């Protein structure tokens, strides 16, 4: 299991959004760390790309680092822009669509 300490050098500033690149008409993901406490995953969505509706057993906190996304949680669409965050609660249906090309950082918080 890759820990956060395996991914990041101590006492060093990093720009997470630079650790994943956009693909052509694709969703690209990169898991940076996974532990018993949760995961840290970066995503890069080309404009119009999406993750279909699904549920997850854990809360997911998302920080949009670049672009604009639409997050649909329990059927409610929410526009989230670069610099903004959103919580996708555990066990509630949600989907993600890139209104513009978008990079996001997803923190999966295990119970």
- Given this model, what pLDDT does residue 11 score? 86
Q: Mean pLDDT over residues 41-58, rounded? A: 96
Confidence of residue 2 (pLDDT cuts 50, 70, 90): low
Taking all residues of the chain, what is their mean pLDDT, rounded to a whole number?
A: 92
Tell me if residue 46 falls in helix, strand or coil.
coil
Quick: pLDDT tens for 61-82: 999 999 999 999 999 999 999 9
Report the topology of domain 4-109: Jelly Rolls (2.60.120)
CB 41 within 8 A of CB 74: no
Query: Residue 14 and residue 36: Cα distance in Å, rounded?
Result: 23
Quick: pLDDT tens for 3-12: 666 777 788 8
Confidence of residue 20 (pLDDT cuts 50, 70, 90): very high
């Amino acid at each position: 299991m890759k820990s956060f300490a395996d991914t990041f050098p101590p006492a060093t500033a990093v720009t997470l959004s630079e650790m994943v690149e956009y693909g052509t008409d694709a969703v690209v993901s990169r898991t940076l760390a996974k532990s018993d406490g949760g995961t840290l995953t970066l995503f890069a969505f080309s404009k119009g790309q999406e993750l279909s509706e699904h549920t997850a057993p854990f809360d997911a906190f998302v920080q949009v680092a670049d672009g604009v996304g639409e997050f649909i949680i329990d059927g409610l669409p929410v526009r989230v822009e670069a610099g903004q965050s959103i919580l996708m609660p555990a066990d509630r249906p949600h989907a993600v669509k890139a209104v513009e090309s978008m990079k996001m950082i997803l923190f999966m918080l295990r119970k």
